[in-house]
Amino acid sequence: MEKLLNDAELSDATLQFCDRIISNYSFYPVFEAALKRAVWHHCIPELARIESEALDENFRKGLVNYFRDPENSEKVLHVTNLSKIGKRVQEAVDLYLKDESKQ
């Protein structure tokens, strides 16, 4: 393993791979979405609870297990009820906007 890690060609290949990712892919939309989500959760704290309650039990357990021990947890998690989450989030956003318009 040490021989492989110290191989000069591995370093060059890694740099080429990183350059290709940087040149061809933008992580701006992911970053922007994360910032927007953080703002929404700050403005409407109920969203985190809604999302948590709407996740199916297997997904919730898998997510908790992943954060506790990422190396030994299952890597595949499936969401089966996105429309339920979307509906509850939309209701919370509508309520927030309604309350904001009263002020």
Q: Are 43 and 96 in contact (CB under 8 A)?
A: yes
The DSSP string of 31-85 is HHHHHHHHHHHHH-THHHHHHHHHS-HHHHHHHHHHHH-GGGS-S------HHHH
Taking only the tens place, the pLDDT of each residue in 73-85 is 665 544 555 566 6
Q: Please name the amino acid found at residue 52.
A: S
Q: Please name the amino acid found at residue 84.
A: K
pTM for the predicted model, two decimal places: 0.42
Q: Are 63 and 73 in contact (CB under 8 A)?
A: no
Give the separation between CA 65 and CA 14, rounded to whole angstroms: 31
- Low-confidence stretches of the chain (pLDDT < 50) are 77-78
The separation between the first and the last C-alpha atoms of the chain, rounded to the nearest angstrom, is: 64
Q: Please name the amino acid found at residue 95.
A: L
Domain extents for the chain? Answer: 1-43, 45-103
Whole-number pLDDT of residue 11: 80
